[in-house]
């Protein structure tokens, strides 16, 4: 539901002041247009299907591949067959590597109470109980654990992130698919409708607990209990946006990891390698994780979006991954708008001057991070060829 603008503040002087003004008037990071709505909903439908596969595999790894040090078949979800193996070798499959890439970005950058909990004595005690049960009778792994007592503990920390991201995407996938169904019924007509749908979903799931338990020899070991107080919004959604949308990792093969080359900042808070900054390239090269996601989503595009791409591009199918990337970034700016509004210090419709000033500073701090992103590039709607 769009909100009436009641701000008495003068216009912002920020380089992205136009976008700030639009949000204060009840808009979004992405401008309103029928084409933008169609692109965003269409790509989120495809993304919802892909996420459904991603979250199932992440939870399979966390629950069923617990401390399996050489998980050769972790992408098979427990269903191993020769035909499936051939498809895997031929790469006719979902690229689960991308979901792991996102998990590792969250694991690396941390944030939220999950990151803090994994450094507590309670977590260590619970994890070591599960480790002891897992290595019992396996003298090789037991000896490894004795020689390097923190090695398996660190593996459990990572598995906790497998589980947390899987639980996060388990909520987001049906949310995006439901958005598509509502669009088909004519209930979603504007970008703000998209934002409101996502915001409502985030709010509804905000306090859903994030927990993690594994079963070893028919006994359940709780790694993250509900009493840890971890919740969907603040301990999964917010760290995910920070780690995947904004920071992420420098892509191997595009920059040097050599410290003497100074191509990567020593301050990881200045990392700008996330999805909102990625250049839409069709290179398809190894080591560029977003390409894996675009490859996955191309298989599930709704017909109307596929036809739209063919109209606006002179390169046809050769340009498909690039078009998908642009649409995906547009959709993620809508999701980010929902996150921004959900974390807004005060309601946008406030008439209190101090609260309006606080909201303005809040929005400007977001815009500071968007200046170098792809946001300025998606402000102009493309004309059909």
Backbone angles phi, psi at 252, to 5 degrees: -60, 135
Mean pLDDT of the chain: 89
Backbone angles phi, psi at 303, to 5 degrees: -55, -40
pLDDT exceeds cutoff 50 at 383: no
Those residues whose C-beta lies under 8 Å from the C-beta of residue 29, and which sit 6 or more positions away, are: 19, 23, 333, 334, 336, 337, 340, 370, 375
Are 341 and 27 in contact, with CB atoms under 8 Å apart? no
Model confidence at 228: pLDDT above 70? yes
Local structure of residue 73 (DSSP, 8 states): T
Helix, strand, coil tally for the chain in percent (to 5): 60, 5, 35
pTM, rounded to two decimals: 0.91
Q: What is the pLDDT of residues 104-157, one digit of tens each?
A: 999 999 988 999 999 999 999 999 999 999 998 888 888 888 889 899 999 999
Output 272 or 184, whichever has higher pLDDT.
184
* DSSP 8-state class, residue 382: P
Confidence label for 259 from pLDDT (cuts 50, 70 and 90): confident
- Which of 226, 277, 221 is closest to 249 using CA atoms? 277
CA separation for the pair 332, 275 (Å, rounded): 8
User: For 198-256, what is the HEC assignment?
Assistant: HHHHHHHHCCCECCEEEEECCEEEEEECHHHCCEHHHHHHHHHHHHHHHHCCCCECCEC
Cα 171 → chain centroid: 12
pLDDT at 266: 83
Strand, coil or helix: what is 116?
Answer: helix
**Cα dihedral 175, 29, 97, 115 sign:** negative
């Amino acid at each position: 539901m769009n909100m009436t603008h009641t701000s008495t503040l003068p216009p912002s002087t920020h380089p992205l002041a136009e976008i700030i003004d639009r949000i204060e008037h009840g808009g979004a990071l992405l401008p309103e247009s029928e084409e933008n709505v169609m692109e965003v909903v269409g790509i989120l439908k495809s993304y919802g299907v892909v996420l459904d596969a991603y979250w199932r595999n992440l939870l399979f790894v966390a629950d069923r591949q617990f401390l399996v040090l050489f998980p050769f078949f972790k992408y098979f979800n427990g269903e191993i067959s020769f035909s499936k193996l051939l498809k895997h070798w031929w790469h006719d499959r979902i690229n689960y590597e991308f979901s792991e890439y996102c998990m590792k970005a969250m694991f690396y950058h941390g944030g939220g109470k999950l990151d803090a909990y994994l450094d507590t004595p309670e977590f260590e005690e619970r994890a070591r109980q599960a480790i002891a049960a897992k290595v019992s009778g396996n003298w090789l792994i037991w000896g490894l654990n004795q020689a390097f007592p923190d090695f398996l503990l660190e593996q459990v920390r990572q598995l906790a992130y497998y589980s947390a991201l899987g639980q996060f995407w388990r909520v987001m996938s049906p949310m995006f698919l439901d958005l598509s169904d509502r669009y088909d019924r004519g209930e979603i007509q504007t970008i703000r409708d998209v934002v409101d749908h996502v915001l409502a979903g985030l709010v509804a799931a905000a306090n859903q607990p994030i927990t993690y338990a594994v079963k070893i020899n028919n006994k359940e070991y709780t790694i993250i209990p509900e009493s840890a107080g971890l919740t969907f919004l603040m301990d999964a959604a917010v760290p995910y946006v920070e780690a995947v949308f904004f920071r992420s990792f420098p892509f191997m093969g595009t920059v040097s990891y050599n410290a003497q080359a100074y191509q990567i900042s020593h301050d990881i808070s200045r990392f700008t390698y996330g999805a909102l900054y990625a250049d839409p390239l069709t290179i398809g090269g190894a080591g560029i994780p977003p390409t894996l996601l675009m490859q996955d989503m191309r298989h599930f595009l709704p017909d109307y979006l596929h036809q739209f791409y063919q109209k606006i591009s002179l390169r046809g199918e050769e340009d498909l991954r690039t078009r998908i990337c642009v649409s995906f970034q547009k959709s993620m700016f809508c999701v980010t708008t929902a996150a921004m509004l959900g974390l807004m210090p005060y309601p946008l419709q406030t008439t209190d001057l101090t609260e309006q000033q606080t909201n303005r500073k809040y929005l400007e701090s977001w815009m500071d991070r968007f200046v170098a992103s792809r946001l300025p590039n998606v402000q102009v709607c493309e004309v059909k060829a």
